[in-house]
Structure 1
Amino acid sequence: MTGTSTSSSTGSSTGTSGEGVSIGVLAARTGLTPAVLRTWENRFGFPAGQRTATGHRRFDDDDVERVRQVVAAREAGVSLQAAIDSVLSRTSRRGRSSVHAVLGARFPELRPHRMSRRSLVALSHAVEDEALARADRPLVLGAFQEGHRYAHSRPRWDELARTASWAAVVADFGDDADVAARPARCQLPEDSELRREWTVVALGHDHAAVVSAWEVPAPTGGRPVFESVVSTHRPAVVAAARVLTDVATDAGATLPAEAAALLDAPGVPTPATDADRLWWRALTRLDVPDADLGVSGSAGRR
């Protein structure tokens, strides 16, 4: 009923404009309220829309249709998180096995930055250390590209898996893949985008963090550089976790109910003090020698 307004402004915001429509028009066309849509956006990063040059968020016809599909799924009794994930998995224009692409598409405010391998190792270890220190049985996931890169970090991940609700790593493991291990070692398909990505995810009830990066092609002999995204924004962490758990289960791993519950639980936003602690962990690690950090030239160790 609210979508049939004869206001002149509605006629100019039917979705055919190159700049799209406002959240108010999106709400009117989907039978929701702007407050509900903003709550969805804050908790789940949906609907994402696009930012204009002036910073306003605008939505197109595809956004309208996706919201309508979520509303229909909710009316059928599907949980909000499951409804959003289902709609996005069907309509995503990006490969679902790329964490970096999913974060870029759903959370454009997470601007990527280029950093060295040393900085990326420090951030990854900081996320892992925080997961260990909190001891709240988080879901811990990693993408290592190749099995030999994981081998260097295996003692750390063995310890992470010991107290996690579930831990899994994905890489080109070859004969060393073992989905029943702790952590589960899951084989990446030949055409997986994750073969060029580096990801660490830690998701607990009151804490969440993700590091995602891909290696930028460099001249022969040049130092590795990574385009990276780091965030403690819970919806972004959940989105990254869902990509990796989908890849792991496709490889034959079984996601325990306790870990699956973390993906569906509303959780709480990561407090600023916890985020600060994570960044301090990373900065402290940058003070240690390269050999102690696990960086050896361009050998790719982690």
Structure 2
Amino acid sequence: MKSIRPLIRTVLLGLELRAARGDKWRGRELARRIGVNPALLHNWERGERTPPLVDVGCIVGALGIVGEQKERILELARLADTDSILLGRRGQPYHVATAAVCARAAAEIVDWHPTLVPDILQIPSYSCAVAKYVLPERTMASDPHARFNENTAHLRKIGISAYVGEYALVCPVGDPDVDVVMRQLHHLIKLQRECRGITVRIVPATAHAHLGHSGAFTTFRTHNADHLIVHRSHGYSGSFTLDEDGSYADADSQLSKIALTAEDSVRIIIGRIKKLHLARSTRHGASPGNYRA
């Protein structure tokens, strides 16, 4: 029997529905409440079959989901099954929340950004500084804080390979406040030292020019699937696709080969913190003194 090729909308919708159910109800109880076979609900949540919009509405209603989460799930349910989907628009960056759902369901994550600290490792003040140049403050004011709080606990449970382009250290984009950048860099060092499953590695500017995928991307490998979910942020919106041809898996492999070791990366980050500390001290007319990261 020929297997059915998974489609990204079905996979994401399944993750969203499973996350929405959480620990509120057992699957069998929810299936009884909405009048479907428990095995069918299980297939929907695993992304193996696409639920009809009317059934998604029943699930949302039974779980008491309202507001932005309800709108996001229903919008995803209305989309056509295609190889790639775009979520979010001005004022409604749904892709950020959907990416967070993918992260919570992931067993492995690879996050790469050539010019910024990858999203999943950003502290709130750094996220807000970057967001000011990408999205209106009114749509992003609370999102970075919520994402950071969720990630801090979850990151310790899974395997994450974060690749940071050298340019992100040399010329950070966003708020010019040196303290913000220093706190962000300190956070990277803390994650590297305290979270066993996280590796933060610097990709030299001369090396990432040879990378097939030069733009930022995040890949999520979930516990119940062999395929990679790929997320690329475009500001207000974000695209999701499945890595069916293996090109992003190849990019992950390339990054692993060209990036500095975790130990060398920490030394580079500490060196950058020292330079920022010196620049700040000089700007305020204070003696640089000795600085230890």
Q: Which has the higher helix share?
A: 2
Which bin holds the TM-score, normalised by the shorter protein?
0.3 to 0.5
Calculate the TM-score normalised by the size of structure 1: 0.32
